[in-house]
Each structure stands twice: as C-alpha cells, then as structure tokens.
Structure 1
Amino acid sequence: MTGYKEIYGRYRQQILDGRLKPGDRVPAIRVLASELQVARKTVEAAYEILTGEGYFVSQGAKGTRVNPALHVPAMTSIVTAVPIPVPSSPTSESKSELRLGIPALDAFPHKKWLLLSGKVARSLRPEEMVVPPVMGYQPLREAIANYLNISRGLNCKAEQIFITSGYRASLQLILSVLAQPNDKVVFEDPGFFLGQQLLKHIAPNLHYVPVDQQGINVDYLQCNHADARFAIVTPTHQSPLAVSLSLPRKHQLLEWAQQNNSWIIEDDYDGEFHYTRKVIPALKSLDTHERVIYTGTFSKTIMPAMRIGYLVMPLGTLRRFSELGQILETGLPLLPQKILAQFINEGHFYRHLKKMRILYQQRRRLMLDAIQFVFPDLFEFELTGGGMHIVAFLKCSMQDIALAELWRQHELCVRPLSSWYMQQQKRYGLLIGYTNIQSFEQAQAILQRVAEKTRAMMLV
C-alpha cells in the first residue's frame, strides 16, 4: 500500500534529481489519489509536507506546482547523459466488434484533444519544422518519466526514455541494440501473438516458458533456459491470460537476471487498468540492478492511431541506444508528440485514466452478464483484477479456432486462445474485448447474431 511518506519521497527525489523543475504542475490531489488508489488524505499529507518544506506551492484554481522560486543545487549524475543531436484505409476488421486492445472510443475527450491539437499546431515554430529528435520530443520524455515515477513506481530520468512507434518497434530496437545474433530469447506461453510473429523473424534462438495462475513459471525458466539472454514478460496483466506475476516470482525472476547478466523486457501494455484497491507496481519498480527494460504504449490508453510507445533504457545502455538509434530510427512526427505532452502535462491524461477504470469495470460486468445469459453452459471464467478483455474458457470443447472463425464471419473480432500457445499443453477459449460495449442490450444483441450457429457447432 502506498503511504504518504512514499509519495513525499518520490516527489522530493524527482525535484532533487531535476526531473521535476520549478514551475512544473503536479496532478491534483483527488486525481493522484485515484491514480494510486489511496485515500485523498494520504496524498494531502504528502502535499502538505512538500508545501511546508517549500517544494510545492498551491495556486488555488491553477493547481499545485513545484515552487517556481525553488533553487535546487546541481547534482552530478553517476552516468553522464548522452547528448541528443537534433538530426492506409481501414480494413473490415477495424469495423468489427469485440476487438481486443481498442480503448473506449466513445468516451475519449475528443473536444479537449482537438483544442489542444489546434493550439499546438498554431504554436509550431520554424526551428521545429526540421527532422524531429530521434529519441523523442524532450518535453514528452519528461512527462512520461514523471508519470511513470509517480504512477508506476519507477525511478527513471527523462534521458532514459526513448519514444518509439509502439511495442514491436520497441522490441526490435532493444534486440538490435543489446542482442547478439544467437542469443537465447524466452517468451511467455501463451504470449502476445504479434510479439510471437515478430520474434520468429528476428530471434533465431527463440524458446517458450509456460504461464500458470501466478504468471510465467520461473522454475521452468531456471531449469530449462537458465542461459537465456532475454526474457520477455507481461507481469502486470499477462497477455492473454491477464494473471499477475506473483511477488515471489518477481523477485525470483529479477535474481535470475542479475545472476546471469540477462535482460528482462517488461511489457506493461495495460497496467493502468486495474479494478481493485490494490495497485500492482511495475516489475521495473523492484529492479535494483538495472536488468529490466520497461516498455509501454499509448495505444491502450489514448488511441492505437497515435502509434506512440516508449521504452525506459537502463542507465548503462544510454550510449548504445543513442548511437544505434541514430541509425535505425528516424524519429516520430513532432506534432502528435507535442499534443500528447500537453495532454499529460495539463492533467487530462490522469483524469482520462480515472474515468476509464470505472467505465471498463462496468463494461466488463455488462459483457460477462450478456455471455452468461446467451451461453449459460458454454463458457467458464477466471476473473482477474484488471485488463481490457475477457478470457472465456470453453467448458467441454477444444474447437476454439473454428468457433472464433464462425464469430468473425459475423464481424465479431474475437480470437481463439489456443492459437496463442506454441507448446503442446494448451487451454481453449475465446478472447473477447468489451471496452466499447455500452449496454447489456447491445452486448446481448451482438451475441445473439451467433447464438444459434454456436450452439449447433457445439452439439456436433
């Protein structure tokens, strides 16, 4: 449980390290309390201490900021920062329902986004119309670092943030920078299907480690692939089973990486969406030996069309990422980066996440009720504390591939669970997105389109 001392310590350290600068705005008390899922009094206590010590100033309706008059002595970093030189039409699937990983498009603050977009576009300066920075727009890197440090428990600096075009770009860049041609890479089984497809092409020595109710089986990893150089994991909400990596296994995995000089690539693809009072910190927050490379994306929290992701580079790798990044990457377009930075810095991102957590919890319940109403004897569920999709396990059948194909013929874009496995031991079911379901009646009507043919298939 996050306490006021921890919140106070995180902010104080960020200010002393220069990651938060005089005049920077911090989230409102109620917004941060919701983000960390703690009582408002906990955040109030931390803010009061920070204000009393002169780190924060309250400006009423303008919010709370780092004291503009604050003078922080320059601190010499252990690691020298690397200077950064400034150098299709929609498919039928895009119109389908129940798609995985698509945020609630009806609940996005379109007007606010459009206002910010216009404001940012009008403020574009001539010097910004050249090639964008390869590692990303500096204010966005700072905003992401601040967000991760407060909300995900990390301890990173802006110069550790590398802005990419998404998960696959991050993964490819990491392996290009750090991997040797025949390094052993291990991946979760089942695991994210797009990650599997990419790794089959870029990681010739690829192996799989099974996942159970506690996440990736670290005992199996140590017994069978202790010599692996990279372990790619989704510890907060495992993709696709949505289970969380247990704390003992987190420590076990970190110890394995430290002892074997291996790297853990943490994909925190929807870690923001947890529906219980218990906030699950990122694996990276426990990493004391700099063996975890943290990756994230705004596809699930803002919109997939943004094509903006990021990775947190370990301090000792900054030069390698910078040097090879200049060759491999061209830098994302500047305008969407500036809009996103403004969206985060003005507090809209925090408020949007708070709204989406409540909404997704409600919509998951609607979808579950509809599935159980239309198919009372077909599926069973193992609900977890978060995520953006439902795993509907088939009770008495292994025909999930055929069933998914039937549903897709009726524009229901579900996916068969068994196809995400690479080893022989599998489970069978459907992965069903629910984030754009707005009512029980809508969910019921969608499922009724395939009800008769589904029952007929299950009777064969």
Structure 2
Amino acid sequence: MDLALKLETTSTVPFHRQLYDELRRAILSGRLESGQRMPSSRALAKALGISRATVLFSYDQLLSEGYLKTVPASGTFVACQLPDELLQATSPLISPTSPSRLELSTYGETLATVNLQPPPGQKPLINFSCYGRPAFDEFPIQLWRRLLSRACCFNTTILDYPADPLGYKPLREAVTRYLTQSRAVRCEPDQVVIVNGSQQALDLIARLFLNWGDRVAMEDPGYFEARCIFQVQGAEVLPIPVDHSGLVMKYLSTLTTPIKLVYVTPSHQFPTGAVLSLPRRLALLAWAQQTGAIILEDDYDSEFRYDERPIPALQGLASSDSVIYIGTFSKVLFPSLRMGYLVVPQQLVPVVTRAKWLIDRQSPLLEQHVLTDFINEGHLERHIRRMRMLYAQRRETLVQALTQGLENQVTIMGENAGMSVMVQFHTHWKDEEIVDRAEQRGVELISARSCYMKAENSNGKFLLGYADLNSETIAEGVWRLAQILKA
C-alpha cells in the first residue's frame, strides 16, 4: 500500500508527530478510506525508514482519538465514523420566515436601555483613561508562575467542584487575617465569601436585597457600574451629593422615602478621591441603625494611601449588622485574576452561600490556592509596599506636571491616595472636544460624565489614571494636554 507519506528529516517536529499529522490528513481527505486496513507497524516503519516505536506511538494517538480502530486477530483499520464528524451538527432544513421578537424579562428590557461604557482598549497612546489598571510590568509574574506550578502539583482534587461555595477555606482564613490587620475589619473566616471580583459581589447583594421599586441611595458622583446593577434590578437610585469630606449626610438624613440600601466608597470616594470623615461615618452608621437600611461599603483601593496609614473600614466601626463589606484583588494584583471578597453578617451566610452556588458554583479553585500562598508567604504585603511607593511617585509627577503646565486652568481633587486623579479643566471647550483634540495628539482621556446622575455637574471633569504609566510618559502626556488647552 502506497500511502504517499512524507516525513521531513530537517524539521524540528518529531517524527511521531509528523506521521500522526500525515495519517490524519490522509484519513480526512479520503486517501485512506473508511474501513480500510492499515499497514502493520513493522511494515510501515520499514517503508519510511523509521523505528517501529515511532509508528506505534502515532498509531496509539490516532486510536485514542478515534481515527483508527483495532479488530482482534485482524489488524488496524480506519474508523467507520471519524471523530470530526461527531463534532459537526447537521443543519435542519427550515423555511425562512420573518424573525419574531423575543420577549425579554423586565431585567433584560431594563438592561437593554442602559448605556454601558465599553471596556478600555489597548491603544498605542498615552493612556490616562484606564483609571483602575495597575502597573503590570511591576507584578512578580515569575513568582506567580512558580506558585501556580506548585499548586498544579498539589493533587487532582484541585480539578473537582469545591466542597464549599464560599471559597477555599485557607484563602478565607488568609483574607480574614489580612483584613483584620490592614483594614480593622471585624470578621471570622466563615463570614468571608470569595467572589469573581467586586462586580459579582455587587450583583449578588443586589439580587438578594433589592425588589422592583426599592430605593437605593448612592454617592453622586459615584461608580457608574454599581448604579447600573441597582437599576437593572429595578431599584430607584437616589443621588446624594459628595464634598471634600465624602457623602453629605444632611441630604441622606432628610430623605422622606424609605431607603433599602446605601452604597458608599468611604475610604477613597470614587471618583472624587474624598475620604468620608469620622463624624460622617458615625452619623451614617447611626442613620442605618435607626432606619434599618443596609450599608454596602466598597473598599476598592484603600491599600494605596501615600501620606498616612490606611483609613479603618466603616465595617469595623459598626456595632450592628448594618454593613456589608466588599474588597477586591484586581487593583493590588491584576484585573484578570477576577478575585474579590464579601464580608457579610453571620445571619446572611446561609443565603449568600446558596446564591453563590446557584450563580456559578464557585470561584476558580486553582487561583485560590495560588493566592493563598501569595498572601501567607508575605508576597502580597511586599508587593503592596512596593506599589505604594511607586504609585506615590507617579501621582506626585502627575500633580506637579498639571500644576506647572496648566496652572490656573486645572483643579485637582481628592486625597493623596488611589490610582487615579479627578481633575477639572477650566476651558470653554466641551468635554467631547477635549477628548477629540487629545486623541489627535496621542493622549487618551475619559470624561467623568458617566459618574454623575446630573450630567451638567460634570462639565470639564476627567479621570486621569496614572498607575500603569511611568514618570516620563505622564510628564509628556500632561505637556501635550497643556498645549491643547492653552491653544
């Protein structure tokens, strides 16, 4: 039998792989027909001038994938039904008709009307628009790879469904120690729920607590995606103004309508950067206890304060079960890790466990193992210390460049913290014009308009992310902005 097989002696691809590819192509193209008998391994090896072991290796691979079959005492044959055919569904013959409108749920209809922002792109610009992106080139990727390899060697149970939807218990214990020490959060490991980032945490809480028509109080300006989650759940979102000391309590306490939930970012208000003062924290806790409202505390990047110690979490001050705490590793490590945590009151643990189980069973177990080792071996604290110094330098570079380059044409807002700065440019141009002119000069900006429920309050305000930009890039970007705004 002449199979017209060709093996390249100069190729870096091993002979057994070349032979496998050649035979598979011959089977799929029909040169080797269904049911046709294959030459013996000894005969084929002699014909090709290779070892019989190489032929056996290729045959075994084709047998295991279903291209060949063996018949006892008869030999090896091409399979009658090839595995590729099993992956191809036959299209049914259906007469074309006019498409009918698929009826969405109330959730779906509401979601269809929400104007979500596209995720930030990877453009070859001086990109100030990625206000939550950490410095990827400073992440200890070799260390992470080593921990990942070690976790893969752990045992096969790491591939199974985890026993606890709340998350890998050693990780929850590590997170508990970390939060107790760094954020003064009061909790036990069984109150910690590992989630796929803070976005899932927000969605879980909204599903569990909000009914259609419930009212949610929220900082204005505030986190746009959180507002969307509350709105598509059917809640009415009420804006509460923010000043240099955070949420203005007098507006919240004078509301006459019942409030189910209030969403706050007290440690570093998004997007203004304000810190909720202690008197207002105590007033907010007292108001929640009096009204029965739930406080949802989003502590998204409190690790990065540059002139003083981190502010203790609001949750640690609460004497009742009024606060649900959200944290994430997306800012301190990297966003694609998709790992965050909820700290819930003890009475909510059973229902949150059920909700997490129904939504996605569990967060990825392999990454949880790696993250546990990363925390327990001290790598997380060391990485945060390094990033805190780096981001402080980059923030100082940005502030100095803005102050010197734009002088009275810019107002810089917020505390000396975080991974972004909110600024207001004093110019007669509209935000869209500034964005377009900046892009023409190779600078990408993002307006803070989506953060405001009243768009007229956002004129000239922008978020400048700096964590993933080096000092030279920051200075060059601000210089280009100055040329635009002074034109």
TM-score greater than 0.5 by the shorter chain: yes
Residues of 1 paired with 2:340 and 2:474: CA distance? 31
Task: Provide, for residues 270-299 of structure 1, a one-character-per-residue CA deviation record: whole Å limited to 9, x for no partner.
Answer: 011111234310111101101000001111
Measure the CA separation in 1 of the matches of 2:123 and 2:319: 42
Work out whether residues 401 and 418 of structure 1, in 8 Å CA contact, stay in contact via their aligned partners in 2. no
2:151 matches 1:129: no
Deviations 1:88-118 (A, max 9, x none): xx97346652220111222212221121111
Contact 2:398 2:478 in 1 (8 A): no
Compared CA separation, residues 372 and 277, structure 1 to 2 (3 A): closer
Q: 1:283/1:230 Cα in 2 relative to 1: closer, same or farther (>3 Å)?
A: same
Residue 313 of structure 2: aligned partner: 282
Change (3 A) 1:359 1:404: same
Number of aligned positions between the proteins: 365
Cα distance in 2 for partners of 1:264, 1:367 equals: 34
* 1:293 aligns with one of 304, 316, 324: 324
What SS class does the counterpart of residue 320 from structure 1 fall into?
helix
Unaligned stretches of 5+ residues in structure 1? 1-89
Matched, 1:92 2:98: no
User: Deviation at 1:418?
Assistant: 3.4
Q: Which has the higher contact order (CA 8 A, sep 6+)?
A: 1
Conservation of the 8 A alpha-carbon contact between 1:218 and 1:249 = yes
Q: Is the 8 A contact 1:367 1:437 kept in 2?
A: no
Counterpart of 2:219 in structure 1 is 188
Q: Distance in 2 between matches of 1:260 and 1:409?
A: 52
Does structure 1 residue 239 correspond to structure 2 residue 270? yes
Task: Quote the offset at 1:196 in angstroms.
Answer: 2.4
Q: Does 1:434 align with 2:450?
A: no
The secondary structure found in structure 2 opposite 1:431 is strand
Q: How does 1:408-447 map to 2 (within 5 A)?
A: 408=439, 412-423=443-454, 426-427=457-458, 428-439=460-471, 441-447=472-478
Counterpart of 2:285, as a letter, is: L
- What is the Cα-based RMSD across aligned positions, in Å? 2.1
* TM superposition shift of 1:147: 0.5
Q: Separation in 1 of the partners of 2:123 and 2:327?
A: 23
Q: Does 1:320 align with 2:336?
A: no
Kept after mapping to 2: 8 A contact 1:394/1:400? no
Contact 1:93 1:411 in 2 (8 A): no
Deviations 1:367-411 (A, max 9, x none): 122233443342122351311111222234472343234434555
Report if aligned partners of 1:363, 1:438 keep a CA contact under 8 Å in 2.
yes
TM-score, with length taken from structure 1: 0.75
Alpha-carbon separation, structure 2, partners of 1:167 and 1:95:
28
Greater shift in the superposed pair: 227-236 or 181-190: 181-190
Which residue in 1 is equivalent to 2:95?
none
The alignment status of 1:215 with 2:260, answered yes or no, reads no
**Distance verdict in 2 for CA 1:324–1:382, change over 3 Å:** closer
- State how far apart, in whole Å, the 2-side matches of 1:451 and 1:219 are: 39
Q: Is the alpha carbon distance of 1:345 and 1:195 closer, same or farther for their aligned partners in structure 2, counting shifts above 3 Å?
A: same
Letter in 1 for 2:187: C
TM-score, length-scaled by structure 2: 0.71
8 Å CA contact 1:100, 1:414 repeated in 2? no
Aligned ranges for residues 108-127 of structure 1 at < 5 Å?
A: 108-123=139-154, 125-127=155-157
Deviations 1:154-186 (A, max 9, x none): 110111111111122101101212333332111
1:305 to 1:424, Cα distance in 2 relative to 1, 3 A? closer
Residues 12-161 of structure 1 mapped to structure 2, 5 A cutoff: 92-93=121-122, 96=125, 97-98=127-128, 99-123=130-154, 125-132=155-162, 133-161=164-192
**Aligned residues: percent identity?**
34
3-state SS of paired residue (2:212): coil
